[in-house]
Structures are given as structure tokens and as C-alpha cells.
Chains A and B, each alone.
Chain A
């Protein structure tokens, strides 16, 4: 009985396998034409600079957005994320050129930044530049990692340049505002922002700037520079921001 059942199953299995094999063979003999691949979507790209006119030494923010692209690069910057923003400080007028390559082709976008040359250095002109203008042109904010208040290695150069500027302009009094990104709790971010401002202040004091010229303040996440929920925006908001005056 058992044997009989088993052999019946074997026969059935064999028959099925044969049918499938034959079926497969038949297909091989006359393959249907392969379906055409779906057309890949054409990439799109946009690039803008804000502001698009700056004075020499100032920065501008490049913002770009692409879709359907896998390989995006900006001349002079290199490969970049599909969308994002970056601060650049061109020394001369520059046309930034973005190339977005995807399966559906290549799309380009450009943004022109006009750089007004720094005023020529005859003494008469120098006197017309106020200390506040010099402050705005020269002092650079210090950026931080998430939930951190120690100064990153890549921020040391900016900090030393700031310290040098303040030593050369001993009459400028200023405020350091600590800022945080939107993640994290309101009260803790205000305390963390205080730590960021205090850390920058202490580093400037170490570099020889008198502490009584410096006021510290914290905005936590109450006054963001950028309001999108992505890392490039969050990085913009994690900073010690210099403000002229107290």
C-alpha cells in the first residue's frame, strides 16, 4: 500500500517535471521579444546662490536640488548630495557649475556669484570702513558637532583667525550666541548653547583676547538660521555666532 502510494506520487512528479521541462524547452525555441526597459526619468537640477553678489572675503550659500540623478558634482567642490546647501567664499566672480548624471541622462545647472573686489587700500578708504563692517567681513562663526560643545579640529583655523582679528581691533566689544539644531529638548538646548558660547569665549581668552570684551548668550533652538530638517541645515544651526556689540 505504502509502496503503491509512493510510486504513484513518483509517477505524478515525473510527469509534472516532464511537462515543465518540455514547456521550458518550448519557450527556449520561441522566446517572446523582451519587454522594452522602462524609460529612465530625465534628471532635473537647480542651483542657486544667495546672495549672488558679495564683497571680497564674504561668503554666500549655494543651494541645489536634483531628482533622478545618481552622480552629482559641482565644479571646484566635487561630488555632492542630491540636494543640499554649502557656504562658499569665492575670491573672484565665479560661475558654479553643477552636473547631475542619472540613468535618464545628464542635466546641468549654473549659478553666478559676482564678487566685488575689496576696496583698494589707500588710507583714505580704510578710514571709511567702520569696525562693524570689518567685523562682518572678517569674523567667522564656529560650528559644532551634534550635542557637543568642544571645538572641532576643522574649526581651529577660523577660531585663530577670529582671535587675531579681535587682537588687532582691541576696541571691538562683541557677543557670542550659542545655537543648537531643532533636535533635542528646549531647556537642554539652551544650556548646551550656553556651553558652546562659553567654550568659544574661553578659547578666545586663551588666545589672548580680553574676557571683559566678550558677552555670551544662548538661543538654544529658539532662533535657527535654517529651518529644514536635514543635516546640512542642522549643521548651520549648531554654532557659536558672533554679533558686533553687547
Chain B
């Protein structure tokens, strides 16, 4: 099974190299480490540069967040701290190249630096050194200053991690500063919540006291669309991050569900305004509604091709159990992409090449049914299963770098938000309290 999986990924890898630029396909290299060796990176704990008593707590936050970000990136062979030399550098002059570039650490790259609070401000200096190139080692040198708070230090660590990931990850920006939006019942109602990509800073966004579902963040992160029961009907609702409040959006009548943003800011969603639920597209302000499907079966959960904006994947029950279909953004060229079972919640990858979705592949009496997350190469319709034997999994959504997937899983006994690398490894739980569902990952 595992061998098949790697063969398939290798197939994608070779096809990718033939068909398009390497940078766009980076996640395959990064996410699986196939063919290309992962960069062996050491991340030395930053050192205190002032005598401020705050430094200890701030350094702990900074070092933990930076390590976690680099570990999550999926493109590094992160050298265990137990291999590090006793003398860890806080400045370039303190780097002992031989101690780092030979065994036991045997690192290619070294991240190091210092942090110091003074007068309520904190200053962080960070470097990335190519320790195998003593003549010209500096890859990156950065200085950050902000208020001496835990939150500010957390953001600085994310920024520095993203700088490293951008330089060593084939020019694909890191995701340490991205956000995840989701539905939580913690307040007693299903409301929209948001958090950092690593699960930190969870906070409630809406206070509608109704049932809100299917949050989707706009490509520029300025608006969030979702569906909610409002004045007796399911309508598309809009939250503005420019104004930090709900803003008006047209009412369509009927049942309106599951919005999805196109790269240029249009919205597709499911609406029963003309009878049975069909896929509609409206412009950014909700005007000019166009109906794309017209069958009787329920059509729902559209997902726009994030790269081209010219195709939409969606779910339809027109033949019985729900299956995933694709069509052009004008409703033509309908193609069914799943051939059996119960397939829902498609989400198109940033490079336009893959769909991830939730599938109960063999559905029926006597079948060991389980909803798992799958990944499909659209062109060849070949698929791989990413989650195995771990409860009901649904609503997968790609990260901006195409290397990660966030999803909802019941594996812990309740619905919670989890992330994994796009090859199914490095599965990490982000939420623990209440019931948390339907994650949407910001595009940047």
C-alpha cells in the first residue's frame, strides 16, 4: 500500500516536471522528500541580549514558535537539539562552523540569533547561515522590533520562520502567518471563529446567536462569506475585516449555502431560489446572479479552481449518493470525477492540479464505511487516500503553500480541527474544546 502511494506521488512528480515550472509543484518535493534531499536545518535557541527579566518568558515563546513553524513546514530535515554543540551562537561572530557542519549535527543550514527586551520594547536579531560555506555564509539577516509582549514575539517568530521557508523552500512563501477560520459551538451557538495556523489565538468572530456554517475567507483576506439562518432563511452573510463587523449582502431567497471565492473575488454558492438547490455565481457585491446547474438533484459545496478561476468543482446527488463533478465556470463541460461511494466537500489546490475531498469510497450495507480525506490529480483522476482508520474526516482545505491540508476529524471522539502535510503525514490537532468544524485556510 505504502509502496503504491509513493509510486503514485513519484508519478505526479515526474508529470509535474514535464508539464510545468518546478516552483509551482514544490509541495511534492517538499511534502514527500522524493528525489530531492530535504535541507538539513539546525535551529539553535536564540539567546538573551539584555538583562531584562522578561527575556526568559519571551525567549521561551520565540524559540518554541520558531521551532514549531520550521518543523511544520514539511521541507526540512530539522536536526534534533540533542545533537547541537554546547556553545550556541547569539551573534555571527560566535558561530563555530566546524561544530555545526560536521557530525553529529551535520547541518547544512543554521538559524540563530538573539532577543532582548528593554523599556517595554523587544528587539530580535535573526540569521540564517549556510554553515557549509564559511567564505560567504549569510543567507538571511533580519532585525525586528515590537512591543515586549508574548503575542508580538509570537508574530516575530512566525515572520522569521516564513523568511527561512521562503528562501529554502523554492520561493514558495511560508504559511506561519496565515489564519484558519472555522465553526465552533463553544458559545452555545454555531458561530464563526478564527485562529492562527498553529491553533494559537482562538477567538470568536460572529455573535449572531443563530446557526452559522461554511465560512470561506476571500483571497485577499478582507472579507469572510458564510451561510447562516437570518430572518427565517438560509442566506449568504458577509463579515468585513476592514470594518471588523458584518456588512450587508443581498438576500437571494430559498436556501443559500456553501459560498466559495474565485481568485478574482466572485462567489459561487448553492441556492434553491429557483426550486431545487443549484450552483449560482454572483459578482463580489452579490449582484448579477447566474445559474450554472439546472438538474433536480441537490447541488452544493462548489470550490473554484484557485489557480485559473475557470473551473468549479461541486457535489451533486443527481444520480443518488453524492458525487464530485467539475465544470467550466460558465456551467459547460460537466465531468463526474468520483465513480462510487459518498463523495463530498471538494477543495481545489492552489496550483490548480489537485482536488482534496472527503470520501466514503465503499458505501453500502456491510461495507466498513468511514469518511476519509483523499487527494485526486484532476487530469488523470488518480487518487490517494490521506487519512486511514481514524473516524469521520470531512471539509479538507488547502493551505496557501499547497503543502498542508486542514480538515475536520472525529478521531478524538468529538469533531475537532486538524492539519497534516499533503502526503498525509505530520497530523496535528489544533482545537480541543467544544465542537469545531468546517475549517477554511486563508489564501495568504
Contacts and interface: CB of A to CB of B under 8 A. Distances in A.
Interface residues of B, number: 36
B257 A147 contact: no
Contacts of A216: 254-255, 272
Given A191-B315, A218-B234, 17 more contacts: A147-B317, A147-B322, A184-B344, A185-B322, A185-B344, A185-B345, A185-B394, A186-B213, A186-B395, A186-B438, A187-B257, A187-B270, A188-B301, A191-B255, A194-B277, A198-B272, A217-B232
Interface stretch (B90-98, B116-124, B135-143, B292-300): B292-300
Interface in B364-421: 371, 394-395
A195 interface: yes
B358 A187 contact: no
B51 interface: no
Given A184-B342, A187-B257, A194 B301 contact: no
A187 B255 contact: no
Given A147-B321, A222-B211, A188 B272 contact: no
Contact of B277 (A184, A185, A195, A246): A195
B63 interface: no
Contacts, number: 82
9 closest A-B pairs by CB? A191-B298, A191-B300, A185-B344, A191-B277, A194-B255, A187-B258, A194-B272, A187-B301, A195-B298
B250 interface: no
A217 B437 contact: no
Chain B interface mostly: strand
Interface of A: 147, 149, 184-188, 190-192, 194-195, 198, 216-218, 222, 246
A194 B233 CA distance: 12
Contact of A188 (B233, B255, B344, B437): B344
A198 B320 CA distance: 17
Interface string B256-280: 0110000000000010100111000
Given A185-B394, A217-B255, A191 B299 contact: yes
B320 A147 contact: yes
B213 A188 contact: no
Nearest to B342: A184
A198 B296 CA distance: 10
B125 interface: no
A68 to B, nearest CB: 27
A180 to B, nearest CB: 10
8 contacts: A184-B344, A185-B322, A185-B371, A187-B270, A187-B344, A188-B298, A195-B276, A195-B296
B214 interface: yes
A2 to B, nearest CB: 48
Nearest to B211: A222
Chain B CB within 10 A, most for which of A149, A194, A246:
A194
A190 B234 contact: yes
Contacts of A222: 190, 211
